[in-house]
Structure 1
Amino acid sequence: MGDVTRLRQVLVNLLGNAVKFTHEGEILVDISARIISTQPTELTTSQTHLTQSHIFDNDLTNAEQPGSFLDNLFEFRFAVKDTGIGIPQDRLGQLFDSFSQVDSSVTRRYGGTGLGLAICKKLCGLMGGDIWVESVMGEGSTFYFTIQARATQNSNTHEQFNLSVLQGKRLLIIDDNPTNCEILTTQTTAWGMRPEAYHSPQAALDVLERQPINQGFDVVILDLHMPEMDGLSLAQAIRRRSQGQTIPLVMATASAGPEKEQEAMDAGFAAFLNKPIKHGHLLKTLMRFVGQETHKPFHQQQSDQLSTSTEADIVDNHRPLKILIAEDNLVNQQLAIHLLRNLGYRADVASNGLEVLESVSRQHYDIVLMDVQMPEMDGLTATRQLCQQYADGDRPYIIAMTANAMTGDKERCLGAGMSDYVSKPIRKPELVNALNKYLSQTNSTNPDTVKVAGTEDEAILKLDQINELKKFMGDNSSAYLLEIIDAYIGESASLLQKIDTCVQQTDAKGASNGAHSLKSSSAAIGAEAMSKICAQIEKLGLVDNVDSIRSLLPQLHTKREQTVNALSRFCQNLN
């Protein structure tokens, strides 16, 4: 039967894959349901096995009484649709086998192994459902899965709001993306509003022009980035019309820095909604402007501080930070992303020092978490260049990340211009301490704002370290950890192949670099035995001892196989 943790794990895995393989376009999640039993008895998986020809009915309004409704057993169908690279037809049948990838080049380029999909299939089966995929090469894929679950009492998520005040309120939506318009229309219609969506700014302006002043829209949500006219220009055009002078304007955007926020205030925006828009943030914003404060004059709203509905709304009142992670190792990237997300922060990623310089030139960052050893340009060189190009108050606060906890490392980092230092694998308390140092120095918040959350395989894995990592990841810990483990398994295969190739070519330095990266990611995931042998190979490479490295390769391959098997068993027991 339905289990919230298992469901979250499946969804996060499928969404993670969709993001990984989609370079442009969109990713859409669609959910539908139907009643499959009105009796309070469980059905077996075989009784409810679905094929792609099943028709799902969204109309669940036929339940006559709340009591009988709660006795119903539902089948929920989830569809995760992307516009990514697609999957060849001859590989669809193997996709849910353990460690199956479309081809080896996919593992090298994107990471991962397919372990996550195999576990997804098992989890769907445990919840009385199934999983399948439809795909067209070059057009995208849609992963479907079903689960069984009973109805529960309404959790009254929005009981603090009087939704009746939204009844009949008119909402104007302006976004060139049809999917965004459809999502906003569907959600606000469910709250009793009367939305109208337009993909063209000019079409929306024409509609506004025809509206009587006393029968116009109550609120406008518009996209920042549109090809015909951007959101700021559109807002100014709306304000120039008599029908649009008093309407609260809400900007929807996936990226807006301090400069854009100031421009938005000048243009008369009352709030931001960060994409993807969460329905809780959407409801809170709508209630503020057309609900509890419907009749507040706009000039008073504009004099208030601009409201930003972002992730920071749901954590303790710490200052929002723009953070860049500079790290070439995929596992360490994901670990840092998840730890920051658990603390309420979102981050961008750069894979080397050159990308760091490019990213900082495009937009402002408060903090850069800088790996010291990266290809193309290392972290020390990138830091020196940032110090040369930007004054103290203009450049980011740079926190070094290094796996080499050796005497003099910290001094070299600080000497290059870095402000602080954390060792890898990153631990949440150390990361929290580094963030607090920055926050206390900038006097932007209280330094205690960010708070720390409080066999056979044990010879291969430090299970206590993995469990500690899982605990620190918060509510989505199982799904996040599965994603990181899957990435590690794929990346370790690529790095192992790189080390083998370098040894064949007597490239000791290349083998050392590959071992360094594998040592770091292995330590991050708790694969201590694997990390130790990689450390040996790294040191041998530094002294150009290819023969000794070659003698260790069989042991390295064996350790990786043992590590992968141990991680697979660990994943099977995740809950």
Structure 2
Amino acid sequence: MGGSIFVESTLGEGATFSLDLTFESSESGVAGRDQLDLADIDVLFIGPSEEAFGAIARSLEFSGAVCHQVGDARQLQVMLGQCAAGSAKVVIVSESYARSEQESIWRQEEAVQGQRPLGWVFLSTNRGQRLRTIDDRLALISSSPFRWRELMSAVSLMAGREGFAEVGDERSELQEAWVPMTAAEAADAGFLILVAEDNVINQQVIRRQLNTLGLACELAADGVEALDRIRRGGIGLLLTDCDMPNMDGYELTRRIRQEEQGRAGLPIIAITANAMEGAAEACFEAGMNDYLSKPLEIRALQTMLKSHLPSPRVSEVNDTSVQPEGDGPLLSSAVLDLTEMNALFGDDPELLNPLLDEFAESASVTVSEIQAASRDTNFDAVLSGAHKLKSSARTIGAHQLADLCLALERAGKERDLASVQADMDQLESTFTAVIEAVNQQTKT
């Protein structure tokens, strides 16, 4: 085909493969592919990547949109002034911004626009994120990878038009969930899922996600409990955290593989908040089959389970649809985004509030431990505490706090005292803001 393949590789960092192919442009479009009419829509992409902007522009301009790249949010007002007066305007915010930064840009511009609201699309690096319309002015899609029809639909919907009929809210498609079994029935059939996780918040959220998918599970607080339960039989799949007390997920997996002695292996999926280099390789080296990143996205969880767990026999049809998200806004506050939790728990405060209270209690202890470790220049304890807090903070939607914990975790690993001290200056104020938001939620 006359193309070229390139590779750039750096020891300890990874490799980038590039494929260069030249195609002739088609004036008539792709045969058999329907199009959306995006004429009279100005799309403004906020982000530094010219490559990402180029990919977006090529897809959208083919259907009539006019695309502009905005280097940063400060230039947005200037660029808006250069757009056609009567056009609809949709702003796409790059995934290079953290969710909290995307929210900040959104809030600031909405305040400025007033009676001339913009349509917004937030890009996410979450591979499981499908098109999700929060309301008629805000949508989420994944950029890893871009899905052409979802990108087109998101822009069209945010401009007040129709999207592709088959591209809808991600949760509506989860109504095809498997027929649920009781724990006893699942154990007898070998379909029971064991969740090994020491964080109480994560335990309850994962249990709820599995129940939403029509699946039964049991919980173990560490690797010792999990190994004992597996030895008693009836477990069809193990979801295990990697960092647990007494016995971590890696050692648990090695013990299981040793005891199997050539028998059919138990599917083991890591659930980890570890974004450090080599985390995935460590999972596979221990004998795990696959891994998922925390916080678990329900569609990614569903896809993973379908790959590793045989479908249970269907005895009767049950309604396993997800509770509606309600009419609340996406952002309950700048520091606490309860969208995912409200969707998961059906916007039911009797279910959600006890988990938030549990977070506030356990996280307060963890923050104190991190502060003490910082004063003692105990980098390992800083890393451990930040990792633990990051996981539960991300789960409840405290993304600013989780991002700060990630920075602390990296600084602890690198023995970077200056960075640890700088992040510690922000930890108390950020955590206090989260607790105030939690109290506002649970006391109202």
The yes-or-no answer on 1:526 pairing with 2:401 is no
Seq. identity, %: 30
* 1:468 corresponds to which of 340, 343, 363: 340
Matched residue, 2:249: 379
Out of 195, 210, 215, the residue aligned to residue 340 of structure 1 is 210
* Superposition map of 1:67-466 within 5 A: 310=182, 321-391=191-261, 393=263, 395-405=265-275, 408-440=278-310, 453=322, 458-462=333-337, 466=338
2:304 & 2:363 partners in 1: Cα distance? 29
Deviation of 1:408 (Å): 4.5
- Alpha carbons 2:201, 2:358 under 8 Å: kept: yes
Which residue identity is paired with 1:414? F
Residue number in structure 2 paired with 1:499: 370
**Secondary structure, in 3 states, of the residue corresponding to 2:235?**
coil
Runs of 5+ in structure 2 lacking a partner? 1-179
Equivalents in 2 of 1:479, 1:435: separation in Å?
A: 29
- 1:351 is matched by which residue type in structure 2? A
How many angstroms does 1:368 deviate by?
1.1
Q: In 1, distance between residues paired with 2:404 and 2:261?
A: 43
Contact 1:343/1:450, CA 8 A, preserved across alignment = no
Q: Could you say what the CA RMSD is over the residues aligned between the two structures, in angstroms?
A: 3.5
Q: Are positions 1:513 and 2:388 aligned together? A: no
How many angstroms does 1:566 deviate by?
A: 1.1
CA distance in 2, matches of 1:480, 1:392: 43
Would you say the 8 A contact 2:401–2:431 is kept in 1?
A: yes
Cα separation, 2, equivalents of 1:404 and 1:493: 21
The answer (yes or no) to whether the contact 2:183–2:192 under 8 Å persists in 1 is no
The residue that corresponds to 1:280 in the other structure is none
The corresponding residue for 1:233 is: none
Task: Identify if the C-alpha distance between structure 1 residues 548 and 450 changes in structure 2 by more than 3 Å, giving closer, same or farther.
Answer: farther
Deviations 1:214-250 (A, max 9, x none): xxxxxxxxxxxxxxxxxxxxxxxxxxxxxxxxxxxxx
Say if 1:506 and 1:361 are closer, same or farther in 2 by CA, change over 3 A. same
Return the alpha-carbon distance in structure 2 between the equivalents of residues 353 and 312 of structure 1. 22
Distance in 2 between residues matched to 1:378 and 1:506, nearest whole Å: 25
Deviation per CA, 1:315-358: give whole Å up to 9, x if none.
Answer: 9xxx7732221112221112112222333434322222233222
Conserved? CA contact 2:295–2:394, under 8 Å: yes
> Cα–Cα, structure 1 residues 477 and 341, in superposed 2: closer, same or farther, change >3 Å?
farther
Task: Output the CA distance in 2 between the equivalents of 1:428 and 1:506.
Answer: 38
Letter in 1 for 2:341: L
Partner of 1:458, secondary structure, is coil
- Taking the aligned partners of 1:309 and 1:504, their CA distance within structure 2 comes to 50
Query: What SS class does the counterpart of residue 324 from structure 1 fall into?
Result: strand
CA radius of gyration, larger in: 1
Instruction: State the secondary structure of the residue aligned to 2:377.
Output: coil
- Unaligned residue ranges in structure 1 (runs of 5+): 1-307
Any idea what SS the aligned residue of 2:191 has? coil
Give the Å deviation of 1:517. 0.6
Displacement of 1:379: 1.1
Question: Does the CA-based 8 Å contact 2:387-2:406 persist in structure 1?
Answer: yes
Match of 1:253? none
| Alpha-carbon distance between aligned partners in 2 of 1:322 and 1:561, rounded to the nearest angstrom | 40
Cα distance in 1 for partners of 2:281, 2:319 equals: 26
How far is the alpha carbon of 1:309 from its aligned partner?
A: 8.9
Correspondence for 2:416: 545
List per-residue Cα deviations over 1:396-440 (Å, max 9, x = no partner): 321110113456533432332222321100121122222222334
Distance 1:397 1:309, change over 3 A: closer
- Alpha-carbon offset, residue 524 of structure 1: 0.6
Change (3 A) 1:507 1:566: same
Paired letter, 2:252: A
Quote how far apart the aligned CAs of 1:444 are: 5.4
CA contact (8 A) 2:366 2:385 kept: yes
Which of 349, 357, 365 aligns to 1:486? It is 357
Whether 1:564 and 2:432 are equivalent positions in the alignment is: no
Contact 2:274 2:387 (C-alpha < 8 Å) held by counterparts: no
Q: 1:346 to 1:309 in 2, by over 3 A?
A: closer
> Residue 546 and residue 359 in structure 1: after superposition, are their counterparts in 2 closer, same or farther (change >3 A)?
farther
What CA distance in whole angstroms lies between the structure 2 residues aligned with 1:478 and 1:469?
10
Deviations 1:483-515 (A, max 9, x none): 221111111101011112212322110111000
Q: How far off its partner does 1:371 sit?
A: 0.8
CA distance in structure 2 between the partners assigned to 1:407 and 1:550 by the alignment: 23
Deviations 1:198-228 (A, max 9, x none): xxxxxxxxxxxxxxxxxxxxxxxxxxxxxxx
Q: Rate the CA distance shift 1:477–1:395 in 2: closer, same or farther, 3 A.
A: farther
